[in-house]
């Protein structure tokens, strides 16, 4: 099949003329079509005219046939005559939104045709098919995105609905997603808020995956959670889940002994608990944002979804930019948008760079987040995990994991302590009162537990 055999690009010249004519007779109509851009127009002269009209109106100037003609007389053939014809053919601006929708629809169809041509060109390249599919899928999804027009409202008009929200919170009908740890929930003003992105970051060996699984399990007892494991296989994930649920040494699960009656009893108990949980696990590696969205929406349709945990950021594939920091920004913005769309909490696990290990006090700070500032920007909460015993084997805080809320959009940052039982890869609330005590001791050891 040749390019010449493809259908001609979709065009909507009359709709484009109607948009321009409506704007020339009613400048205020521009604010009813905020999603329309000059690039949506098929004809180049229409792009030039729309750009100039929008420029003049945005500058607060009165825009009409004469003011546009004065600027474009040398760029558009028979500019005055053509603008007059367009203006006289439009009776009013009442249908401008419909005209704009037609223009944008045809623009998307032309873009799809162009993508088809691009895919034909790529078939003969040495680039892997999986990479091409991911790139094309990202472009197709971008074409499908359309912002919903929303008018600003007076605060006074909003308050009646807001009072209903307060009432629902008081009655417990609307509440954050509880993590299962009272101290952490208190620090987060009740838990993880729906429609938000939370980043949990740490150096290797601190317990990121264990924490992500723990949150997912805790939520799965009363709601639905999804854990996307791009680093570990499903058997490895289940080793950790069963070890934590049954309070079993993970080493025993890897080498079980049928004579260990107590361990088998605990294993049976863990399996029974799993039957009571609405906990989805996926171990497909190198997921693209398109695939992550698809999996989340699938679970949401089947049984609802409250929490999605992604392990981890560095394994997400795809992105339109060739700059790593821009790709990370695409991913975090996409996850935030997905959290809002599905009304869920998204937890993204993330590895820190080595900067913290160059300091005497090795507790992480926000500047240690790897690659991109968009992680901090898009996340409602940024939580660091720190276990002092990783660097200081003789610390009095052995078995304690400091959960450091470095950023909390709706509250104050702070630190709480949780007990970390490494051989069972699980967290638990501390049985004793604990307060963080920063130390500046040099690093003594680089050995750590399971991450």
Shared domain for 117 and 180, answered yes or no, is no
Q: Considering the domain boundaries, does residue 41 fall inside one?
A: yes
Q: Give me the CATH number covering residue 306.
A: 3.40.50.300
**Contact (Cβ atoms closer than 8 angstroms) between residue 178 and residue 185:** yes
Q: Could you tell me the two tokens for 386? A: 């720190």
Shared domain for 222 and 326, answered yes or no, is yes
**Contact (Cβ atoms closer than 8 angstroms) between residue 385 and residue 417:** no
Shared domain for 202 and 117, answered yes or no, is no
Q: Considering the domain boundaries, does residue 333 fall inside one?
A: yes
Q: Considering the domain boundaries, does residue 293 fall inside one?
A: yes
Shared domain for 260 and 357, answered yes or no, is yes
Range of the domain at 318: 176-429
CA distance 152 to 140: 30
Q: Considering the domain boundaries, does residue 324 fall inside one?
A: yes
Domain count, the chain: 2
Domain endpoint, select from 68, 94, 126: 126
Shared domain for 273 and 388, answered yes or no, is yes
Q: Considering the domain boundaries, does residue 152 fall inside one?
A: no
Q: Considering the domain boundaries, does residue 271 fall inside one?
A: yes
Shared domain for 121 and 180, answered yes or no, is no
Shared domain for 192 and 92, answered yes or no, is no
Shared domain for 102 and 181, answered yes or no, is no
Shared domain for 64 and 191, answered yes or no, is no
Shared domain for 90 and 205, answered yes or no, is no
Do the strands 196-202 and 225-229 form a parallel or antiparallel pair, or are they unpaired?
A: unpaired
**Contact (Cβ atoms closer than 8 angstroms) between residue 243 and residue 254:** no
121's enclosing H/E stretch is helix 96-122
Q: Is the peptide bond before 312 cis (omega within 30 degrees of 0)?
A: yes
**Contact (Cβ atoms closer than 8 angstroms) between residue 356 and residue 201:** no
Q: Considering the domain boundaries, does residue 377 fall inside one?
A: yes
The distance of Cα 312 from the centroid of its chain, to the nearest Å, equals: 12
Write the DSSP assignment of 229-266 as a string of letters. Answer: ESSS-HHHHHHHHHHHHHT--HHHHHS--TT-HHHHHH
Shared domain for 283 and 213, answered yes or no, is yes
DSSP state of 416: E
DSSP 3-state assignment of 397? Answer: coil
Q: Which residues of 293-329 are buried (b: 16+ CB within 10 A; e: fewer)?
A: bebbeebbeeeebbbbbbbbbeebbbbeeeeeeebbb
Q: Considering the domain boundaries, does residue 251 fall inside one?
A: yes
Spell out the per-residue pLDDT of the chain, length 451, in tens. 344 444 455 778 999 999 999 999 999 999 888 889 999 999 999 999 999 999 999 888 899 999 999 999 999 999 999 999 999 999 899 999 999 999 999 998 988 888 888 888 888 888 888 777 777 877 777 776 655 555 677 887 778 788 887 888 788 777 889 999 999 999 998 899 999 999 999 999 999 999 999 999 999 999 999 999 999 999 999 999 999 999 999 999 888 887 788 888 999 999 999 999 999 999 999 888 878 988 998 899 889 999 999 998 989 987 766 777 788 888 898 899 899 989 999 999 999 888 888 888 889 998 888 665 788 888 999 999 999 999 999 898 999 999 999 999 888 889 999 999 999 999 999 987 887 765 554 444 444 455 5
CA-nearest of 269, 232, 227 to 247 is 269
pLDDT at position 281 is 95
Which residues share a beta bridge with 428?
419
Shared domain for 227 and 365, answered yes or no, is yes
Q: Could you tell me the two tokens for 433? A: 């009162």
Q: Give me the CATH number covering residue 75.
A: 1.10.860.10
pLDDT in tens, 411-448: 888 999 999 999 999 999 998 788 776 555 444 444 44
Do the strands 426-429 and 345-351 form a parallel or antiparallel pair, or are they unpaired?
A: unpaired
């Amino acid at each position: 099949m040749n390019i010449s055999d493809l259908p001609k690009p979709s065009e909507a010249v009359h709709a484009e003329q109607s948009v321009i004519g409506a704007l020339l007779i009613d400048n205020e109509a521009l604010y009813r079509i905020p999603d329309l851009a000059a690039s949506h127009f098929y004809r180049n002269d229409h792009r030039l005219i729309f750009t100039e009209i929008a420029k003049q109106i945005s500058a607060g100037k009165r825009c009409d046939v004469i003011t546009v003609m004065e600027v474009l007389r040398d760029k558009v053939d028979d500019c005055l005559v053509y603008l007059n014809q367009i203006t006289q053919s439009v009776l009013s601006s009442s249908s401008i939104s419909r005209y704009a929708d037609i223009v944008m629809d045809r623009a998307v169809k032309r873009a799809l045709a162009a993508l088809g041509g691009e895919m034909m060109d790529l078939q003969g390249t040495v680039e892997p098919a999986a990479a091409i599919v991911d790139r094309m899928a990202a472009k197709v999804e971008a074409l499908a995105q359309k912002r919903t027009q929303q008018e600003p409202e007076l605060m006074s008009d909003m308050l009646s609905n807001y009072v209903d929200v307060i009432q629902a919170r008081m009655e417990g009908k609307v509440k954050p997603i509880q993590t299962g740890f009272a101290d952490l929930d208190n620090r987060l003003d009740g838990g993880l808020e729906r429609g938000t992105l939370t980043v949990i970051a740490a150096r290797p060996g601190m317990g990121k995956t264990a924490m992500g699984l723990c949150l997912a399990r805790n939520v799965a007892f009363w709601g639905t959670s999804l854990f996307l494991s791009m680093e570990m296989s499903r058997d490895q994930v289940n080793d950790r889940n069963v070890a934590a649920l049954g309070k079993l040494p993970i080493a025993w699960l890897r080498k079980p002994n049928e004579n260990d009656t107590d361990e088998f009893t605990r294993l049976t108990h863990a399996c029974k608990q799993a039957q009571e949980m609405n906990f989805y696990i996926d171990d497909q590696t190198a997921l693209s944002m398109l695939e992550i969205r698809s999996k989340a929406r699938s679970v949401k349709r089947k049984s609802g979804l409250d929490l999605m945990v992604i392990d981890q950021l560095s394994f997400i594939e795809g992105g339109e930019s060739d700059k790593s920091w821009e790709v990370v920004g695409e991913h975090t913005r996409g996850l935030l948008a997905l959290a809002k769309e599905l009304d869920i909490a998204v937890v993204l696990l993330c590895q820190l760079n080595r900067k913290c290990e160059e300091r005497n006090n090795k507790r992480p700070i926000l500047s240690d987040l790897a690659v991109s500032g968009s992680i901090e920007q898009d996340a409602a909460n940024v939580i660091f995990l720190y276990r002092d015993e990783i660097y200081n084997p003789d610390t009095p805080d052995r078995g304690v994991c400091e959960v450091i809320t470095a950023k909390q959009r709706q509250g104050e940052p702070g630190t709480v302590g949780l007990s970390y039982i490494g051989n069972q890869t699980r967290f638990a609330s501390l049985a004793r009162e604990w307060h963080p005590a920063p130390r500046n001791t040099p690093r003594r050891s680089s050995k750590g537990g399971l991450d």
